Amino acid sequence: MSVKPEPVSALFAGPFALATLSAPGEPAFPALVTPDAQVLDLRAALGDARSTVRSLLEEWPAVLPRLRALAGDGSARRRPLADFRVHAPVEPRQVFQSGANYRQHVIDLHVAHRAPGDDRPEEERRAEAAEIMDRRAAEDLPYVFIGLPSAVTGPYDDVVLPAWAEQPDWELELAAVIGRPAYRVPVEEALEYVAGYTIANDLTDRATVFRRDMPQIGTDWLRSKNAPGFTPLGPWLVPAGSIADPGDLRVTLKLNGETMQDESTQDMIFTVARMVAYASQTARLLPGDLVLTGSPAGNGMHWGRLLRDGDVMEGSVTGLGVQRTRCVAEAAS
């Protein structure tokens, strides 16, 4: 079961976006989608060899002009989006996740996770967190870790909350999609390696972020972030050229219709370009890879209200559309 998208006047910014779609009983395929919810099967338009969105990204500099031409070709046969199921727009080989990248969000988490015996007033602990954020920005050291592609699910699919997850939480994020192999690229050139942007909800079980058996080990991102379906992605991959400024987008998450996160990417400590460049200093980024850029303030720990069975999350980022997922509790074994 999944939550269906609601019709809107324009699905996203720009003349087209990429999607991965399927019809009942048929394999998924790469599609060009127009803002008026019409679909062009790119297998027929570009050749069956390009059978996934990732295969298009492998040839992104050459494919992009052809996609622009197809978007403006009124004679191309199109079908209504309503005829298809929408999957995650791309299957990444690598997922690079940014932690502690929104100033206010990190300050809120610092206050919420009070260390045992720390009886200082909230104002003092907030001031301490703000000082830490300023120092991180000055030292130019983003925090990046690795996620699993198997956690990715579609933008309208149900999200199963594992029975062991005691504190499942939401974290809506802007995600950059890589369009060219990137290794040790400078910040000034980093955005040239970004094919486009999409929406990611980086779910986290707060109870398992830190090891219980030995806190000195530190964070346990495998356990807390990588359950199947913990990264709803999409619905669309919007080309970078359609997004005027990734540093000035609104990130909004509603829970059962109530706004919980509503912040601009201007609050990011490190920009998209800085995140891509930083990750590329260690790893070779590949076409289709995701660079998640962190989540703003307003998660469940802030509100004292975590995810439970039946909750519906609606996430949007300016120009990138809306994803809508329902939480379903896993039956305890």
Looking at the structure, tell me whether residues 298 and 157 fall in a common domain.
Answer: yes
Looking at the structure, tell me whether residues 218 and 132 fall in a common domain.
Answer: yes
Looking at the structure, tell me whether residues 262 and 191 fall in a common domain.
Answer: yes
Closest CA to 194 of 296, 96, 323: 96
- The pLDDT assigned to 333 comes to 52
Answer yes or no: is 120 within a domain. yes
Looking at the structure, tell me whether residues 130 and 196 fall in a common domain.
Answer: yes
Looking at the structure, tell me whether residues 72 and 113 fall in a common domain.
Answer: no
Answer yes or no: is 6 within a domain. no
Q: Give CA–CA dist 12/9, Å, rounded.
A: 9
Looking at the structure, tell me whether residues 284 and 217 fall in a common domain.
Answer: yes
| Residue 114's CATH number | 3.90.850.10
Looking at the structure, tell me whether residues 37 and 161 fall in a common domain.
Answer: no
Looking at the structure, tell me whether residues 70 and 99 fall in a common domain.
Answer: no
Answer yes or no: is 54 within a domain. yes
Q: What is the residue range of 48's domain?
A: 17-86
The residue out of 65, 86, 107 marking a domain boundary is 86
Residue 71: other Cβ atoms inside 10 A = 19
Helix locations, 47-117, DSSP H: 53-57, 60-71, 103-112
Answer yes or no: is 110 within a domain. yes
> Residue 86 pairs with which residues in a beta bridge?
21
Looking at the structure, tell me whether residues 79 and 227 fall in a common domain.
Answer: no
- The pLDDT assigned to 316 comes to 98
**pTM here?**
0.92
Looking at the structure, tell me whether residues 76 and 54 fall in a common domain.
Answer: yes
- The pLDDT assigned to 211 comes to 84
Query: Residue 186, Cα to own-chain centre: how many angstroms?
Result: 23
CA angle 207-208-212, nearest 5°?
100
- The pLDDT assigned to 8 comes to 47
Q: Which two tokens stand for residue 168?
A: 């499942």
Q: Is the peptide bond before 92 cis (omega within 30 degrees of 0)?
A: no
Answer yes or no: is 10 within a domain. no
Per-residue pLDDT of the chain (333 residues; tens, 9 = 90+): 565 554 445 799 999 999 999 999 999 999 999 999 999 999 988 876 678 999 999 999 999 999 999 999 988 789 999 999 999 999 999 999 998 899 887 787 777 766 667 788 888 888 888 888 888 888 888 999 999 999 999 999 999 999 999 999 999 999 999 999 999 999 999 999 999 999 999 999 999 988 888 777 788 889 999 999 999 999 999 999 999 999 999 999 999 999 999 999 999 999 999 999 999 999 999 999 999 999 999 999 889 999 999 999 999 999 999 999 999 999 865
Looking at the structure, tell me whether residues 174 and 267 fall in a common domain.
Answer: yes
- Total domains, the chain: 2
Looking at the structure, tell me whether residues 147 and 252 fall in a common domain.
Answer: yes
Answer yes or no: is 171 within a domain. yes
